[in-house]
Structure 1
Amino acid sequence: MNNKIKTIIAGLAFAAFLGIVYVGYTYLSSSYQLNLNTNSTAPKNLSQKSPLKAAPDFTVTDEAGNPVKLSDFRGKPIVLNFWASWCPPCKSEMPHFNKLYSEKKDDVVFLMVDYVDGERETTETGLQYVRDQGFDFPIYFDTEQEAAKAYEVTSIPATFFINTDGKIVTSFQGAIDETSLNEDIQLILN
């Protein structure tokens, strides 16, 4: 009889635990859904419904170590992408960027910014990855995370689409597919 009571109590305790987990999950899920435009890592287009925000300026370095500013490209539409060679979602989207860079490089500036932290990512590992994959787009290195801080990048990949007026038209958090990338490029070309 004692074992039956213990089993019943254990079963009730487990059921109570599952109930608490369910309630917590439901609450957190609804909170998460309400905050889709914050720090979620799920891929999403973050189109702005309010007035367009000016794209913050920053300085990164090119492959030769020369400083390059976002403002150097003023008056041109810009695709700004933050990535790293250790990031699987970044790797999955890179062929799309390379293809569209080949097609649109005369009309759009592609700033492929490698998030260099000096530990998981170095300029050498980023450059080697791009060379090994045969990508044609130029890469830039955010060794001081100045660009990432200016754009409040908390997870990668992250892509920002900047129009000729220097305003962020839309952004995308997570790996972007070729269709979405092309559609968002069209927004900054018009």
Structure 2
Amino acid sequence: MRNKVTGILVALLVVLIVGAGILYKTLGSRYAPNQLAVEATPVPAQTASPEQTAATAEAAEPTAEAVQTAPDFTAYDADGNAVKLSDYFGKPLVLNFWASWCGPCQSEMPEFQQKYEELADVQFLMVNMTTGRETKEDAQALLAQEGYTFPVLFDTDADAAMTYSVYSLPTTYFIAADGTITAWARGAIDGDTLQKGIDMIAGS
């Protein structure tokens, strides 16, 4: 009887280990680097087809017929002033959606801060998803604690979140100077992937 129980416990342990490995692989891929996508229109996951699956950073850039102007939205600066995304058109722009409770968001922020300090010709706009569980106070506390100085807007009306169908954080868009979306990524990206996106819009 004891051997039978031991056998069952061992079998359960094996199942748990295998299941944990599969779960780790699945969740880990969600935040893996090199998720840079190049396509005409960012497609929300719930409507994406296999043919719309994101290409990698090495894929060809979209044709002139396929490019899409980045949809405009209004968010608010730390003083409560309304700011439109289109106010930033005219120079290359890295647009990032984040929240203070989001671990993957925090993991990539140092890379964004470093590039923001290094690159004078590329704009950075970090839009905080200030709805639901997120508060402006929590977001500002994280920024102050880590010493981040990149521009931040607060999406208190969820206008940006709805316009860009932001259901997963972090999400990053690389927007050319003319306001067209060149590439985008869902999930945390590393410094190399961030640089790839910047290279695609730099000098535009």
Q: TM-score, normalised by structure 1?
A: 0.76
What's 2:130 paired with?
116
1:47 aligns with 2:38: yes
Describe how 1:138-153 pairs up with structure 2 within 5 A. Answer: 138-153=151-166
Q: Secondary structure at the match of 2:143?
A: helix
Q: Partner of 2:111 in structure 1?
A: 96
Identity of aligned residues (%): 45
State the shift of 1:153 in Å: 1.2
Any idea what SS the aligned residue of 1:71 has?
helix
> Secondary structure, in 3 states, of the residue corresponding to 2:150?
coil
Displaced runs of 4+ in structure 1, greater than 2 A? Answer: 40-43
- Greater Rg by CA: 1
Q: CA RMSD in A?
A: 2.6
- Displacement, 1:42? 4.5
Q: Which residue number in structure 1 is paired with residue 88 of structure 2?
A: 73
Counterpart-to-counterpart distance in 1, 2:196 and 2:185: 12
SS at match of 1:116: coil
Task: Give the number of the structure whose residues are more often helix, by fraction.
Answer: 1
Gaps of 5+ in 2: 9-14, 16-21, 40-61
CA distance in structure 1 between the aligned counterparts of 2:103 and 2:186, rounded to whole angstroms: 14
**1:58 lines up with 2:49 in the alignment:** no
Contact 1:41 1:155 in 2 (8 A): no
2:170/2:188 contact within 8 Å kept: yes
5+ long unaligned stretches in structure 1: 1-6, 12-17, 19-24, 26-31, 33-39
Show CA shifts across 1:6-33 (max 9, x none): x9xxx9xxxxxx9xxxxxx9xxxxxx9x
Maintained 8 Å contact 2:171/2:185 = yes
Post-superposition offset of 1:163? 0.1
